[in-house]
Amino acid sequence: MKKLLNKPEDFVDEMLDGIYRAHPEVTHVAGDLRCYVTAAPVKGKVGIVTGGGSGHLPTFLGFVGKGMLDGCAVGGVFQSPSSDQILQVTRHVDQGAGVLYLYGNYTGDIMNFDMAGELAEIEDIQIRTVIGNDDVASSVVGEEHKRRGVAGIFFIYKAAGAAAARMLPLDEVARLADKVRSRTRTMGVALSPCIIPEVGRPGFQIGAEEMEIGMGIHGEPGISREALLPADAVVDRIMDRILAETDYARGDEVAVLVNGLGATPLEELYIIFRRVSQVMEGRGVTIRHVWVGEFATSMEMAGASVSILHLDDEIEPLIAAGAQTPFFRHFGE
């Protein structure tokens, strides 16, 4: 293992300490570095809480800030945060309008968020939940509830945050977040493994000339392992799977996220976007919003994912709205 760290067991807390020192607009509560919150919650606004394992920056905590999320419970690398950490964050971000839980579809997260939500409601904090499940490779059509939440959760954060910033009520923020969830699809490809610091060795092996289509962000198996193809062919495989589940008509609009998994250069990500753009252009679909970069990583894994959100007149202004966090800036339209 070759990493710039001190003790592996201190990796997460030292990372968080560095973020707090660099970005005073975020802080922590309850004496726990892993209870990560905005330093200036807005009175009367719906609070939005996410959470999940470390190792995925900027997801999850990187989207806490103005126009997006209000707090994040931070777990160990690829580990769920505790229910107590989620509850502490919930108490802080509740400003009288209730709290939306918004996180990925993983068993430990679901269990601990459910427990925290029950305890919060005992304290008269209204809770609603939306669970991201955008990864088309992780389950078949008709069983979407089994799908993992991956990079496409960015779009849900964006829309929910904008809706809450408009001071919309909790049920409306949750409805809009769920609508975006239902219209988002993601698929990725992995080229290399990653190393969890406390484990000290790769979580899986993949050949130098191989790729795994559909691998999850924790190294979960994909749908096939095969010889590495040229970039355009890889994107075509991804887009075929995503487009098989959509009903785009000519003139429709989408938002596109091309996400690097941690070790893929921006140059390669833009080659991927080039092909995505060509595919959508061939269908007569307009790409209204584009983000290319690292949004949901897997430590130092090489690879990328493509997320597509089908826009409409209700969703588009939320995606277009401005937002500012330590890890993300969008000036809005």
The catalytically annotated residue of 218, 289, 310, 330 is 218
The catalytically annotated residue of 56, 92, 310, 330 is 56
Rounded to the nearest 10°, the torsion over CA 127, 24, 6, 218 is 30
Question: What is the rounded CA–CA span in Å between residue 203 and residue 149?
Answer: 20
- Active-site residue flag, 310: no
Indicate the burial class of 201 (C-beta count within 10 angstroms; 0-12, 13-18, 19 or more). exposed
CB neighbours of 226 closer than 8 A, spacing ≥ 6?
210, 211, 213
Q: Which of 136, 103, 302, 105 is nearest to 219 (CA)?
A: 302
Q: Confirm if 193 and 301 have CB atoms less than 8 A apart.
A: yes
Q: DSSP characters for 34-51?
A: TEEEESSPPTTSPEEEEE
3-class SS of residue 226: strand
Give the Å distances, CA to CA, from 76 to 21, 48, 79, 81, 213: 20, 21, 5, 7, 26
Question: What is the rounded CA–CA span in Å between residue 60 and residue 131?
Answer: 13
- Active-site residue flag, 218: yes
CB neighbours of 110 closer than 8 A, spacing ≥ 6?
131
> Hey, what are 292's tokens?
């290319």
Catalytic residue IDs? 56, 218
